[in-house]
């Protein structure tokens, strides 16, 4: 085994989710040039032996890298870095979200995106944007009243904010997330006790109304602050969930409806 192989396996073992670790470690080495175009990857058996993961996990990781256009496989020879290993268009798909750490990483991305967008939305919003946001919030309240999680309605409200920036690229980037990364969808809403569910939905309602009020008032700083508070509280809840599951056993994080 080469020194590069050892470094590669060490990188994998530092990641709690092994499938994500395999993908991220290989992708990072390919995109940095440490694994050169045409270079052969470690064999499936070598990865299994060094990491203890199953062949299924290894093959899922390699499939994810193929989907990104980073590797090719040759029958009987193994996997190789492509000759032009440029990553394909950015997207987030269900298989990318295999752990709470993955959820937290994308929530951090959303903070960077939506906080700034909230400021632009407050300065540029039109009456149609306000009507759209109000309708989305009303739909979310109605979904909660029906006992549903409201994930789709939640996503629609946040997307309406991005549309209100009058910059179409914000909504297009958000569309790469779909509803996968709406915190409500990962909060095990249906499993909450009644009192906990009431507190959760009341807090979300207040935070959303604060965001809407700031945008309606053309208060760009207030909108940014309200969105940052809303999203960082979600981050804190998932960090707490991660810490709890690390104490009591491995997490099992699956989006609702999957």
- Residue 144 banded pLDDT, cuts 50, 70, 90: confident
**pLDDT exceeding 70 applies to what percent of the chain?**
72
The band of 14, judged by pLDDT with boundaries at 50, 70 and 90, is very low
Predicted local distance difference test score (pLDDT) of residue 33: 77
Predicted local distance difference test score (pLDDT) of residue 252: 45
What burial letters (b/e) apply to 210-231, b meaning 16+ CB within 10 Å?
Answer: bbbebbbeebbebbbbbbeebb
DSSP-derived secondary structure letter, 17: S
Q: Residue 163: what pLDDT?
A: 94
170: CB partners within 8 A, 6+ apart: 113, 117, 120, 162, 163
Whole-angstrom distance, CA of residue 152 vs CA of residue 156 = 6
Average pLDDT, the chain: 78
Report CA torsion sign: 131, 124, 117, 96: positive
Across 104-113, 172-181, 192-201, the highest mean pLDDT is recorded for 104-113
pTM for the predicted model, two decimal places:
0.60
Q: Has residue 186 got a pLDDT over 90? A: no
Q: Which two tokens stand for residue 133?
A: 């946001």
Banded pLDDT at 160 (limits 50, 70, 90): very high
| 3-state SS, residue 21 | helix
Mean pLDDT for the stretch of residues 26-55: 83
Task: For each of the domains in the chain, give its residue range(s) and CATH number, in order of start.
Answer: 3-81 (1.10.10.10), 94-248 (1.20.120.530)
Percent of the chain whose pLDDT exceeds 90: 28
CA 47 → CA 24, 38, 139, 173, 184, distances in Å?
14, 19, 48, 34, 36
């Amino acid at each position: 085994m080469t020194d590069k192989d050892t470094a590669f396996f060490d990188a994998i073992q530092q990641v709690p989710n092994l499938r994500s670790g395999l993908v991220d470690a290989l992708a990072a080495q390919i995109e940095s040039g440490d694994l050169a175009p045409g270079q052969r990857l470690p064999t499936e058996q070598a990865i299994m032996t060094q990491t203890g993961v199953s062949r299924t996990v290894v093959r899922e990781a390699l499939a994810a890298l193929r989907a990104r256009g980073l590797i090719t496989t040759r029958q009987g020879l193994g996997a190789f870095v492509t000759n032009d290993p440029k990553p394909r268009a950015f997207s987030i798909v269900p298989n990318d979200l295999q752990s709470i750490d993955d959820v937290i990483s994308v929530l951090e991305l959303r903070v960077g995106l939506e906080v700034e967008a909230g400021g632009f939305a407050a300065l540029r919003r039109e009456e149609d944007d306000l009507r759209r946001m109000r309708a989305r919030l009303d739909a979310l309240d109605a979904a909660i009243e029906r006992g549903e999680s409201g994930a789709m309605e939640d996503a629609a409200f946040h997307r309406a904010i991005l549309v209100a920036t009058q910059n179409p690229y914000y909504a297009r980037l958000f569309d790469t997330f779909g509803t996968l990364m709406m915190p409500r969808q990962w909060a095990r809403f249906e499993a909450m006790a009644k009192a906990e569910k009431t507190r959760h939905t009341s807090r979300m309602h207040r935070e959303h109304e604060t965001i809407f009020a700031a945008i309606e008032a053309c208060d760009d700083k207030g909108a940014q602050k309200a969105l940052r508070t809303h999203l960082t509280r979600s981050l804190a809840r998932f960090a707490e969930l991660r810490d709890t599951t690390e104490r009591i056993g491995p997490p099992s994080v699956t989006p609702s409806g999957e």
